[in-house]
Structure 1
């Protein structure tokens, strides 16, 4: 039977449509376009690219956002400064192998800035990292991109993105804030790695003016930003001859976190909560008033726990006391005494501070800290010095000249110390104050100790007045918890050494009722009624049993000290039954018959016990 031609054409059309549907939606080829309403979705369905309008805006922007997060969260915008006025925007790969965004009038609103390439083999692909890449599809080399969005961040830094410099290409990857939450055009703030002072720092700028500074990289961390892995992300800083950048990775794959530079210039880290289905801000920089660049002016320190927060460094005074009295500190501080390299000048060590900004400085990577001090001392213009690198105990020399700016006390311990130049008179003042503080500290310690001793004595007297006390401190070298009985306890237990409690008397003193009660299995009767609920009975029995083993008649039957310690310390040790104690004396009811048991002496030594009738 003949098959009509239209049926064959229909079948071919269906197959082609199926192939089109099955084709990966994360790739844009040179023959395809993305119009408003179309999207690319990464292979793992983590990110999506398309057109969107922020807030109540009617403008359309080409952007990338999280695919599976209900709250649309944009992470990259292409045409922030040139929006599409309507829904006519089209993204395609142009004839020169570049991504091009045009409007209805074919006006180019945005394009990738890569080198020209043959457009037929160039494709654009959205990766699961959120990176939009342009690559030559004929080359099977991973990571060899003609262009990538990760090299051109907007206001968001994702996992794996690099914030900093590719020195080979002169590429500066920095974040740029939006103008507002509804306007993704270029805002007032940028955040990136500053190489102006050779030693890298992380800096937020408002225009060209510094707004926040992390402090210089010291080989371990930025002064204000510890590079410590945590349960959310793992920070990393790379500093070599080819690249200088900050990045971070997931602690685990299930964590979704991002960095944002908001319209107010705040650097914020967010964490997505699957439970609450919302973003939670973990931290923000600037964190407090002392984080604002140069808050207290030059030659001063900012301490957020103090009131007021600003104070002049040692040897300096406010440039305008009237301004400082009104809590306006921007004028900073000036030196009380001129530095002239005179005899007696020295340096004051400041611990736990953010290093001053690198405005006027020199550095030497081979000097020791002592050599650095001598170098600074020789130059009267040198105001401070420190190690460059904090790794391995510190190395290198960093010298500051002129004013010291943006120094703050860090809430977390820093791993670098700053040494500031101090005049002879100020150094004497520092030393005398140090001695005064030592004297005050000693006096306070004496007062506190006296008060503690007083209350201890009062407490002990109250306890003695109430009854028997026990001291269960460990006194032996193996730190075993052996009971120690004070004199009051012994007096009460023996009824002031009354004869009615006396069993006998030997070379080491009287032996009391323990043995008789042990034989009658009435050990609980030996315990004072006031203490019945104070101890575990089994522990008391063990202590009495060990004690009786130690006073057995024959020395060979007695355990040595190591065995005693083992018995007392072990819960599972099997204890032998004690034999009759040495010098055990028992009187008959008529007090006439006396039975005497004498401890056998070792070798020729004999212990004699004198008995007196009553």
Structure 2
């Protein structure tokens, strides 16, 4: 018994053959077999009904079918399986749960789900494609972790336009410290967004552009068993998604109904300062200045012959000018509008004044900041080296304030507060605050 193209479900004893498709109820998405680029291989995938060339999910990305004899079936065990011509299992959802009346359904969200036909509750899905993304994240899809089981949802790009098998890049939610987005190669960080600040990921130069265009709203959801990033469009006319391309670059794309093509809203990494630790430890990356790497206040280059040159950047090895031992007169220098450093310690219950006091009493504390710019409490503290700092480039207004521990001898200061400037042309200033001893 074969399905017609008007159906969005597959049930027991039914099949979906190559050339047939399931279509979601609102005609938004379609599932079926396709051939990517110049390949001769066949894959089971999901694509936009209005734009079939944009495939948003692939089932058998590591195990292609070499002819047009593939078939998706609901077998006698109540599992969705993809079979080759010789009835070899190419792909399966591998469900161990036995359902009374199993059904596979393509939802309007593009989510292909496996559930009992008498229970529509999403909490009772036995399997869903949302849990196994490929290179695209769509609205409503979680990027993050099941904290109870350790299961993670993340993106991996296609190997090429002809081959959907995964490359070694990934876009994921890093939860070591305050959560942040990272692009990685294996275990190595390539790009880092900066921590979630209550509204957005704080070191992302695209934030203002997104907000002012009212494309989507982003959320970080932390439940007892889950921690994930998710987004939703502002209205139903907006079609948008995140895609991680073959080079490990993330793009936010929006469908243009007039030109009937995808427009890129932003690309990340945005510039060379977005690359992880571009300037090394205890450095500030400044994209429009020469050199773009500058040691933070209280730090000096170790030696010029030990700088590492990478293209436009000069990665300095910055060390403390005078090792801190809590000497008399130490205070905090406010650095405005920067991407906060990596590897933070945080406490959600402390306010900013308690955070400052906590940092000041610990001689190994290098800096502190507010973790929530939306008005809530929250304290971020850094110990040891400060990694992957960059300043907000001209034309943007993202970034957060951080308070850097410095000796009193560093800026010109007065009894309780001091203002320093080291660049009169660009007005690069900060505020020095006590307490003083």
**Does TM-score exceed 0.5, indicating one fold?**
yes
> Following the alignment from structure 1 to structure 2, what is the Cα–Cα distance between the partners of residues 224 and 42?
37
Query: Residue 325 and residue 259 in structure 1: after superposition, are their counterparts in 2 closer, same or farther (change >3 A)?
Result: closer
1:391 offset after TM fit, Å? 3.1
1:222 offset after TM fit, Å? 1.4
245, 259, 278: which one aligns with 1:276: 259
Greater mean alpha carbon deviation, residues 418-427 or residues 408-417? 408-417
Q: Deviations over 1:370-417 (max 9, x none)?
A: 33333323322211112233332x633322111100111124334732
Map 1:18-33 to 2 at 5 A: 24-33=6-15
**How many residue pairs get matched?**
416
Are 1:74 and 2:55 matched, yes or no? yes
Are 1:242 and 2:225 matched, yes or no? yes
238, 244, 250: which one aligns with 1:267: 250
1:143 offset after TM fit, Å? 5.6
Query: Residue 88 and residue 271 in structure 1: after superposition, are their counterparts in 2 closer, same or farther (change >3 A)?
Result: same
Are 1:423 and 2:420 matched, yes or no? no
> Following the alignment from structure 2 to structure 1, what is the Cα–Cα distance between the partners of residues 174 and 224?
15
Equivalent in the alignment of 2:189: 210
Query: What SS does structure 2 have at the residue aligned with 1:294?
Result: coil
Are 1:60 and 2:45 matched, yes or no? no
TM-score (norm 1): 0.63
Unaligned stretches of 5+ in structure 2? 428-437
Unaligned stretches of 5+ in structure 1? 1-15, 442-614
Indicate the structure with greater helix content.
1
Q: Judge conservation of contact 2:337–2:398 (CA < 8 Å) in 1.
A: yes
Are 1:112 and 2:93 matched, yes or no? yes
Greater mean alpha carbon deviation, residues 80-89 or residues 235-244? 235-244
Equivalent in the alignment of 2:387: 405
> Following the alignment from structure 2 to structure 1, what is the Cα–Cα distance between the partners of residues 90 and 422?
71
Are 1:181 and 2:161 matched, yes or no? yes
1:90 offset after TM fit, Å? 1.6
29, 36, 53: which one aligns with 1:47: 29
1:435 offset after TM fit, Å? 7.8
Indicate the structure with greater strand content.
2
Query: Residue 251 and residue 370 in structure 1: after superposition, are their counterparts in 2 closer, same or farther (change >3 A)?
Result: closer
141, 147, 156: which one aligns with 1:167: 147
Query: Residue 270 and residue 365 in structure 1: after superposition, are their counterparts in 2 closer, same or farther (change >3 A)?
Result: closer
Query: Residue 263 and residue 334 in structure 1: after superposition, are their counterparts in 2 closer, same or farther (change >3 A)?
Result: same
Greater mean alpha carbon deviation, residues 158-167 or residues 291-300? 158-167
> Following the alignment from structure 2 to structure 1, what is the Cα–Cα distance between the partners of residues 380 and 133?
33
Equivalent in the alignment of 2:434: none
1:189 offset after TM fit, Å? 1.1
User: How large is the Cα RMSD of the aligned pairs?
Assistant: 2.8
Are 1:156 and 2:136 matched, yes or no? yes
> Following the alignment from structure 2 to structure 1, what is the Cα–Cα distance between the partners of residues 67 and 422?
75
Query: What SS does structure 2 have at the residue aligned with 1:372?
Result: helix
Are 1:287 and 2:266 matched, yes or no? no
Q: Deviations over 1:48-100 (max 9, x none)?
A: 1111111101111110011122x511000011111112222221123332211
> Following the alignment from structure 2 to structure 1, what is the Cα–Cα distance between the partners of residues 263 and 421?
49
338, 345, 351: which one aligns with 1:362: 345
Query: Residue 310 and residue 68 in structure 1: after superposition, are their counterparts in 2 closer, same or farther (change >3 A)?
Result: same
Query: Residue 427 and residue 395 in structure 1: after superposition, are their counterparts in 2 closer, same or farther (change >3 A)?
Result: farther
